[in-house]
Structure 1
């Protein structure tokens, strides 16, 4: 069995250390998670730092498992410098795609908030929450408040509270942080699947070998499903994963067109 490579080992150690510090020592997510372009807390360095933060132990394990499984072979093939460049290129690319789509989606919400504050009403509130916050729209709080507002549409307190509700909801959207190395890991999965599609993998609890292209496809879909399920309020989080795969494909095509001997 081949030993783990130096860059992969260092990345694993860094991710685990950051998780321990963030969970038990000092809050790192507040300043180093990736924020929306629309958030006053956004800083450019977050495109790098968000990759070393994770929301839970399961989140950390799934990403580090992918790095441990597929990273060493790529590092041996490319060398430490090129592998590290690939890792950050795909991770930052994933953050950029996620942020671009996040900006587009939340800009629409911001415009809707501005329209609502100019003409608040019970019907407009229901329309706003049903269109931009389905889970919030179906909450007990919103149902109760919407009924009360509908019974008292001219009440200034209800009107102001409804404005506060849509404004607070928008602020929660743009200030929800994005963390995780998933973009870079999906980039590694894409590279492994493209370069070694027919490599047979022997997995625990699977009594037969599985070709890499099938395992990578399954693992990618599983990670995508898990990411969406763990972020019900974020309808575009999965684009970070897609971004990692997309930027991996672009970089591999670029290297191939330059006929660089990287494998």
Structure 2
């Protein structure tokens, strides 16, 4: 634990804080409802704080477990990479996560601005930003999709974005696929802005 706090302090705090707040709100329905993103209110300048708080709560144990496992495998690794590249690496990771969390919901706020009954929650947008930033650095890493199907990270990235676009238009599963897509897109753009040479690095992995 001490090693994690020293080497990846931001990821450690995000990981622990998200787990604690999510578990707490499972039994505190008032706070749970207050923290959820409500595009109707946000579009009218109200409950703006939910752009952040909606990312520190989760629908249920399965939702929390899936997001935190993804964050555990890629968030800590990404902060280590960024810290090795720049003295500002920890701050860069914090900005990636927080901005990814907020900006991934902008499309949702606009899209659902007249839907009073629509709510959204979860850290998926920010975690998508983290995952796709990591993929830019390590495109050939093998991922175990659903913990079973082996797939190189770069291929997963293309399939993931394609699925998000399709699901946003066709799926009726209650999942905010727009947040996944725009979080991932932000992660790519943010990483390229910070490290323009990452494009050449990414390409070179296939030569």
TM-score range relative to shorter protein: 0.7 to 0.9
What SS does the aligned partner of 2:40 have? Answer: coil
What displacement does 1:201 show?
Answer: 5.0
TM-score of the superposition, structure 1-length normalised? Answer: 0.59
Distance (whole Å) between structure 1 residues aligned to residue 144 and residue 185 of structure 2: 27
- The 1:177/1:201 distance shift into structure 2, 3 A limit, reads closer
Task: Provide the residue aligned with 1:211 in structure 2.
Answer: 152
Structure 2 unaligned regions, length at least 5 = 83-88, 199-207
Distance (whole Å) between structure 2 residues aligned to residue 257 and residue 238 of structure 1: 28
Task: Provide the residue aligned with 1:15 in structure 2.
Answer: 18
- The 1:35/1:42 distance shift into structure 2, 3 A limit, reads farther
Which of 182, 192, 195 does residue 243 from structure 1 map onto? 182
- The 1:37/1:193 distance shift into structure 2, 3 A limit, reads same
8 Å Cα contact 1:34-1:42 kept in structure 2: no
What displacement does 1:62 show?
Answer: 1.1
Task: Provide the residue aligned with 2:134 in structure 1.
Answer: 192
The structure number with the bigger radius of gyration is 1
| CA offsets 1:184-235 (integer angstroms, 9 cap, x no match) | 01111211222211134578646xx64222345566778896xx5541xx7x
Structure 1 unaligned regions, length at least 5 = 107-172
Q: CA RMSD in A?
A: 3.1
Distance (whole Å) between structure 2 residues aligned to residue 52 and residue 13 of structure 1: 10
- The 1:201/1:186 distance shift into structure 2, 3 A limit, reads closer
What displacement does 1:255 show?
Answer: 1.6
What displacement does 1:177 show?
Answer: 1.8
